[in-house]
């Protein structure tokens, strides 16, 4: 029986048979100041879309809706963990963006200039983003939680003239200072910075450095007599720069362009999320990540719906915050991360009980694969199969989804643990590292044969690295290298196994980190798991596992044995666990991706490299302590071949 329905198959097929016509038609769903002369031009390794067209991302997000009578509709709802709420209609948001655009011009900012935004997810930060693209300036948002070194690196790389900062952000009941981090970053050789604009919101006054620093009112006051009007921009002019959020040691500065970026995120908003003007949409991400750019700010506003911007922790002041927000605002669709789902899992089903959740129609996950046990908990136990929980996959570099379940076109059967199918317009395949096609079920690397509008055209200031890292990784083939290990089943569904450079090679077997972590999550006591490979003389590699338990469960030798038995049952004896240790947290990026390379570096006694994106530095030291304890526990005799344990062998000590 055919799993993928004929409408979706035709949608996929037609997009690949004539991709230029397909994207031409998709682009016409948006307003343009001038339409294009040519749809696509590929000058390897870069390319352009909608050549000669004129547009402006901010105009399409705001002016268009106000001009069509929707100025009174709520555009942006700001919510934070302290209980503060603020609502801006499309007309009000346009007014504030116009004021801020004029103020940017008052500071001498013009088309092509770069600004850095180091602020939490709050209205003022979003307004600055929209104001920058309105006048053709290029924003670089840096997650408000990075240290001064990471911030300085990104400011210098972008050559920003202004830095926008809040004095504090709110996190788990605390005011976390930001201004001193900005001061240290600017002092670290950021010679391009002329001024720092500070939004004061903390209980204590922020230290200001005259004449460099301006408060928010002073900044806005400088816009008197300046125009807040938008400028027409050629489709391929940059809208923003954003460093990748992933687990690699060296961040890359992705560049997204006004026209093609808008086409991709708007199309996928309709096709994948089924977004429509009447939706109340909540993406729980942060503006420091691409999800925040595309699906807190730009795509929801392009569609004309209401978007919720949330600042703070999803479990503060209590574990039911997530569910309360959905009920309070009548949220119709949520986009969250598997990390957030696993966080909610730690508290069980009780926090969701007592909340009606009747407005909620669908829930989406991305960031890492949504493991089948986490999907089942949310889909069955919490939501009672009333609405679909849908996984999908994309990257900073792709602007929006590339693999998913096209809810807006026709929902397909959900296969828990799969990211879905390659979406229309995405010419995807699974190949070996040598470029040979993989048969269904065979693990390889996900590649994309042809550019699509959401794909970055270059890296800021490093075009050579763009070609090398993305288009020249597979010998003899010019394909976009996602870096993700996966296989495709007989129905065309993609199953991700982890990053290609994180695959664990045990004897002749290749096991994905996601596969082992999913197996561990099958046990009812496990909230989160992270695994990596460790060198082993006999087998090449064995598995090092780090496990976080749900509330109410305690580490014990018996539980350790049970977890090992669970992995054996799920994956068989090929999955040799070298050691398993209980920890309270695993190292993750602030966007929710597990940093397995950090675990591997800890195990090998190496420097983990750039960890500026890590969520909690304590997790590194905890992993080191866990590894030291395991080393002491399993230290082999001098003549032993290796210190591994078969998957069914007991490990000593908790």
Are 428 and 402 spatial neighbours (Cβ–Cβ below 8 Å)?
yes
Are 362 and 387 spatial neighbours (Cβ–Cβ below 8 Å)?
yes
Q: Grade residue 618 by pLDDT with cuts at 50, 70 and 90.
A: low
Are 420 and 391 spatial neighbours (Cβ–Cβ below 8 Å)?
yes
As a three-state string, the secondary structure of 534-585 is EEECCCEEEEEEEEEECCCCCCCHHHHHHHHHHHHHHHCCCCCEEEEEECCC
Q: Grade residue 636 by pLDDT with cuts at 50, 70 and 90.
A: very low
**d(C-alpha 542, C-alpha 310), whole Å:** 41
Averaged pLDDT, 226-239? 98
DSSP H or E stretch at residue 129: helix 123-134
Integer CA distances (angstroms), 285 to 242, 293, 414, in order: 15, 9, 24
Question: Strand locations in 142-268, DSSP E?
Answer: 162-166, 168-171, 174-177, 195-199, 213-215, 233-234, 238-243, 253-257
> For 379, which DSSP code?
I
Q: Grade residue 638 by pLDDT with cuts at 50, 70 and 90.
A: very low
Residue 609, pLDDT score: 58
Q: Kindly give, in sequence order, each residue whose CB lies less than 8 Å from that of residue 76, ignoring residues fewer than 6 positions away.
A: 87, 88, 93, 123, 126, 306, 307, 309
Averaged pLDDT, 65-74? 98
- In this predicted structure, the answer to whether residue 652 has a pLDDT above a threshold of 70 is no
**Greater pLDDT, 562 or 652:** 562
**d(C-alpha 604, C-alpha 356), whole Å:** 49
| Tens-place pLDDT, residues 78-118 | 999 999 999 999 999 999 999 999 999 999 999 999 999 99
**d(C-alpha 561, C-alpha 582), whole Å:** 12
| Tens-place pLDDT, residues 260-301 | 999 999 999 999 999 999 999 999 999 999 999 999 999 999
Radius of gyration of the chain (CA): 24
% of the chain at pLDDT higher than 70: 91
Instruction: Provide the residue ranges of all domains of the chain, joining segments of one domain with +.
Output: 6-408+419-485, 503-634
CA-nearest of 165, 127, 116 to 309 is: 127
Average pLDDT of the residues of the chain = 91
| Tens-place pLDDT, residues 170-211 | 999 999 999 999 999 999 999 999 999 999 999 999 999 999
- In this predicted structure, the answer to whether residue 632 has a pLDDT above a threshold of 90 is no
As a three-state string, the secondary structure of 290-353 is HHHHHHHHHHHHHHCCEEEEEECCCCCCCCCHHHHHHHHHCCCEEEECHHHHHHHHHHCCHHHC
Residue 320, pLDDT score: 97
- Sort residue 346 into left (φ over 0), alpha (ψ -120 to 50) or beta: alpha
Q: Please check whether the domain covering 6-408+419-485 is classified as CATH 3.40.1410.10.
A: no
Residue identified by tokens 């503006």 is 287
Domain 503-634 -> CATH class: alpha beta
Residue 250, pLDDT score: 59
**d(C-alpha 480, C-alpha 142), whole Å:** 26
Alpha helices in 338-435 (DSSP H): 338-347, 372-376
Are 421 and 403 spatial neighbours (Cβ–Cβ below 8 Å)?
yes
3-state secondary structure of 525: coil
Please report, for the chain, how many H helices and E strands are present, in that order. 20, 31
Residue 608, pLDDT score: 62
Residue identified by tokens 């301006």 is 214
**d(C-alpha 102, C-alpha 88), whole Å:** 19
| Tens-place pLDDT, residues 468-523 | 999 999 998 999 999 999 999 999 999 999 888 888 988 777 788 998 999 999 99
Integer CA distances (angstroms), 165 to 196, 312, 611, in order: 7, 17, 22
């Amino acid at each position: 029986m055919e799993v993928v329905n004929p409408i979706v198959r035709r949608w996929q097929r037609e997009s690949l048979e004539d991709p230029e016509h397909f994207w031409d038609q998709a682009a016409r769903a948006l307003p343009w100041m001038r339409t294009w002369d040519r749809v696509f031009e590929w000058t390897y390794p870069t390319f352009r879309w909608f050549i000669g067209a004129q547009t402006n991302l901010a105009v399409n997000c705001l002016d268009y809706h106000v001009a069509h009578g929707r100025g009174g509709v709520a555009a942006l709802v700001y919510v934070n963990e302290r209980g503060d709420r603020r609502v801006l209609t499309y007309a009000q948001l346009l007014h504030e963006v116009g004021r801020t655009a004029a103020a940017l011009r008052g500071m001498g900012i013009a088309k092509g200039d770069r600004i850095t935004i180091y602020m939490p997810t709050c209205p003022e930060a979003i307004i600055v983003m929209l104001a920058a693209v309105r006048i053709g300036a290029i924003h670089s948002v840096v997650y408000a939680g990075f240290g001064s070194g990471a911030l300085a690196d990104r400011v210098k790389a972008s050559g920003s003239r202004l830095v926008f900062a809040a004095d504090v952000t709110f996190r788990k009941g605390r005011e976390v200072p930001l201004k001193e981090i900005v001061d240290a970053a600017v002092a670290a050789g950021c010679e391009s910075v002329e001024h720092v604009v500070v939004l004061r919101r903390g209980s204590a006054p922020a230290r200001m450095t005259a004449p460099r620093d301006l408060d928010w009112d002073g900044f806005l006051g400088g816009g008197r007599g300046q125009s807040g009007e938008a400028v027409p921009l050629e489709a391929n002019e940059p809208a923003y720069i954003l460093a990748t959020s992933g687990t690699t040691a060296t961040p890359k500065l992705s560049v997204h362009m006004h026209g093609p970026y808008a086409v991709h995120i708007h199309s996928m908003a309709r096709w994948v999320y089924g977004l429509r003007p009447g939706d109340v949409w909540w993406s729980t991400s942060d503006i420091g990540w691409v999800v925040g750019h595309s699906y807190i700010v730009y795509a929801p506003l392009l569609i004309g719906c209401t978007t919720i911007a949330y600042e703070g922790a999803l479990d503060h002041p209590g574990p039911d915050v997530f569910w309360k927000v959905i009920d309070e605002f009548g949220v119709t669709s949520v986009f969250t991360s598997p990390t957030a789902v696993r966080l909610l899992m730690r508290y069980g089903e009780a926090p969701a009980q007592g909340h009606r959740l009747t407005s909620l129609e669908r829930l989406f996950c991305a960031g890492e694969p949504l493991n089948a046990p986490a999907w089942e908990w949310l889909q069955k136990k919490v939501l009672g199969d009333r609405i679909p929980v849908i996984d999908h996959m994309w990257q900073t570099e792709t602007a929006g989804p590339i693999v998913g379940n096209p809810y807006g076109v026709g929902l397909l059967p959900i296969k828990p643990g799969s990211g879905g199918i390659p979406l229309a317009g995405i010419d995807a395949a699974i190949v070996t590292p040598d470029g040979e096609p993989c048969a269904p079920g065979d693990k390889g690397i996900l590649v994309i044969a042809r550019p699509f509008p959401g794909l970055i055209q270059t890296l800021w200031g490093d075009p050579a690295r763009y070609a090398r890292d993305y288009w020249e990784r597979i010998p003899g083939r010019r394909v976009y290298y996602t870096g993700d290990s996966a296989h495709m089943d007989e129905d065309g569904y993609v199953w991700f196994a982890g990053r290609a450079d994180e695959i664990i090679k045990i004897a002749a077997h290749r096991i994905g980190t996601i596969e082992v972590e999913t197996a561990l999550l099958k046990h009812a006591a496990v909230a989160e798991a992270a695994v990596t490979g460790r060198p082993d003389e006999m087998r090449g590699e064995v598995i090092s596992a780090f496990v976080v338990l749900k509330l109410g469960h305690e580490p014990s030798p018996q539980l350790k044995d049970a977890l090992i038995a669970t992995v054996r049952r799920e994956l068989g004896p090929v999955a040799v666990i070298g050691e398993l240790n209980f920890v309270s947290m695993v190292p993750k990026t602030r966007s929710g991706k597990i940093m397995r390379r950090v675990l591997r570096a800890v195990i090998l006694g190496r420097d983990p490299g750039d960890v500026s994106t890590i969520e909690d530095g304590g997790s590194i030291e905890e992993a080191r302590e866990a590894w030291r304890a395991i080393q002491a526990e399993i230290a082999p005799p001098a003549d032993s071949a290796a210190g591994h344990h078969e998957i069914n062998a007991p490990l000593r000590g908790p």
